Structure 1
Amino acid sequence: MVVVTTTWEGAFAKAAGAEDVTVIVPQSVHHAPDYDPKPSDLAAVAKADFVLYAPFEPYAAKIKEAAGSKAKLVEVNLDNDPAKARAEVTRLGGLFATKDSAARFTKRLDGEIATLNGELRAAWPGGKSPSVVSQVFTGWAAGLAGATTVGTYGPEPVTPAKLAELSAKKPAFVLDNAHMTTGTVLPDAGAKQVEIVNYPGEDLDLLAVYRNAAAELKKAMGKA
């Protein structure tokens, strides 16, 4: 039994071959690190074999300690960059003794990324790689699109100086983090803002995250 803090860890666990996955933080909580665990969460952890969490989630160790769990606490590198996701799924497959399942998923991941990358390159405005500014946790989406990253921002708020710096790059698109958005990032730069969602849905389908991002990017590039 695997207990995960959010659907993001849950998707990695499922991709690695875990079949019994319990998610603690409801998907309705927009910013997962702000979640306050309930007694029922502690009860779930008490029965777990593994508890998966991310280093930016301050409550994971407290959950395990409060529940008196014997579970193995596993820190997950939550990054949707395909190479990093592939490595993390493979690692978890080793921990869960589900290496074959993890290998099957990584093969599907490679195929999905190749397909989406081809579709996005075909949608490039004017047939040229678009210039983008990415939030630090959405760089993977720029890579998926084959875009040219001319600047990054976050996770701290964009200062006036940073705003001027990024606007001067004249990006065609801003890839914002839907989970940490502060509204329009470059209001006067003429850039199309695309909201990128990192967290999978309740079905814990990691591949859907890439498909959804590709759909939003294609939509934006079609209007560019």
Structure 2
Amino acid sequence: MARTGVPTPPLRPTSRVSSRVSARVPLIALSAALALTAAGCSDDSGGGSGGSGGSGGSGGKKDGPVVVATTTWEGAFAKAAGAKDVTVLVPASTQHAPDYDPKPSDLAAVSEADFVLYAPFEPYAGKIKDAAGSKADLVQVDLDNDAAKVRREVARLGELFGTEGAAASWRRTFDREYARLSADLKASWPGGKSPAVVSQVFTTWSARMAGARTVGTYGPEAVTASQLAALSAKKPALVLDNAHMSTGKVLPDSGAEQVGIVNYPGEDMDLLPVYRGAAEQLKKAMKSA
């Protein structure tokens, strides 16, 4: 989304959000320090808002690295790369991740981590790591569901985690599923022709999966009157909207079918349902286009 797209989705933090988070981190750090002291910094001090596999702390390191991910999107990349002990800080129900206010338990989770995964549009990851006094490696993830980028990031994380075999196995599964979904979508083209689409900048990956022709993009800022006129003039059959950043009907008078594309995985931190869900929505829209 320059790309990366939010449950949250995805997404650029405003200076207001950054300053608010910066002001709260010292208080959070103090609260976390007191909490960890009271708990004796034990391994059962708890994690963030969610987790998958492993028990956390040093116990989880027996089966691989302990990973803390800011959202389920980074968590899904880590899981695909072979990490078994993954804790997510931002709840999947949060509509816009950059607005999340970190909690003391988040610092406790980070203090036990080997790796902390984050995206550049999330303003708090580095501050959390510093406030927790963690020795974890801070790893920036290119959050984009473009197939080529997903393969590259999963392979890179597998190398960092020492789980190359698991990452390679996941990529083979992904390639088969992606190819199946893409072929099914192309077979559903209206009139057998690739549809023209206008896409939000963080959902262009879904257009590529469908083999659609992207004739224009918009966002993440609101569409201006001049952009509206220019995009409508392209006569798109579909508008691919970012479900996490939707501002309503994008081209209300164009006659284009608008499709909400979800970027973020659910609590299971599984990327494949994201592609299946997008394919289902696109197939329905193309039938009525």
For this structure pair, what is the TM-score category when the shorter chain's length is used for normalisation?
Answer: over 0.9
User: What is the TM-score when the length of structure 1 is the normalising length?
Assistant: 0.99
> 1:26-68 CA deviation, whole Å, 9 max, x = no partner?
0111111110101111111111110000001001101101111
Aligned to 1:51: 116
User: Does 2:224 align with 1:165?
Assistant: no
Aligned to 2:33: none
Aligned to 1:105: 170
| 1:127 pairs with one of 186, 189, 192 | 192
- Extract unaligned runs of 5+ from structure 1: none
Aligned to 1:14: 79
Deviation at 1:88, TM superposition (A): 0.2
Q: Which amino acid aligns with 2:176?
A: G
Aligned to 2:257: 192
Aligned to 1:138: 203
Give the match's secondary structure for 1:132: strand
Deviation at 1:197, TM superposition (A): 0.4
Give the match's secondary structure for 2:182: helix
| 2:104 pairs with one of 33, 36, 39 | 39
User: Does 2:283 align with 1:222?
Assistant: no
Give the match's secondary structure for 2:138: strand
| 1:65-76 map, 5 Å | 65-76=130-141
Deviation at 1:172, TM superposition (A): 0.3
Aligned residues: 224
Aligned to 2:32: none
Aligned to 2:245: 180
| 1:210 pairs with one of 258, 263, 275 | 275
Deviation at 1:109, TM superposition (A): 1.1
Runs of 4+ in 1 over 4 A off after TM superposition: none
Q: Which amino acid aligns with 1:206?
A: L
Q: Which amino acid aligns with 1:219?
A: K
Question: For 2:124 and 2:245, how far apart are their aligned partners in 1?
Answer: 19
Q: Which amino acid aligns with 1:27?
A: A
Question: For 1:44 and 1:161, how far apart are their aligned partners in 2?
Answer: 47
User: What is the TM-score when the length of structure 2 is the normalising length?
Assistant: 0.77
Structure number with bigger Rg: 2
Question: For 2:222 and 2:131, how far apart are their aligned partners in 1?
Answer: 34
> 1:97-122 CA deviation, whole Å, 9 max, x = no partner?
00000000111111111100110011
Deviation at 1:210, TM superposition (A): 0.5
Aligned to 2:46: none
If asked which structure has higher relative contact order (CA below 8 Å, sep 6+), I would say 2
Aligned to 1:79: 144
User: Does 2:183 align with 1:118?
Assistant: yes
| 1:95 pairs with one of 152, 160, 169 | 160
Q: Which amino acid aligns with 2:104?
A: P
Question: For 1:32 and 1:181, how far apart are their aligned partners in 2?
Answer: 15
Deviation at 1:139, TM superposition (A): 0.4
User: Does 2:218 align with 1:153?
Assistant: yes
Question: For 2:172 and 2:204, how far apart are their aligned partners in 1?
Answer: 22
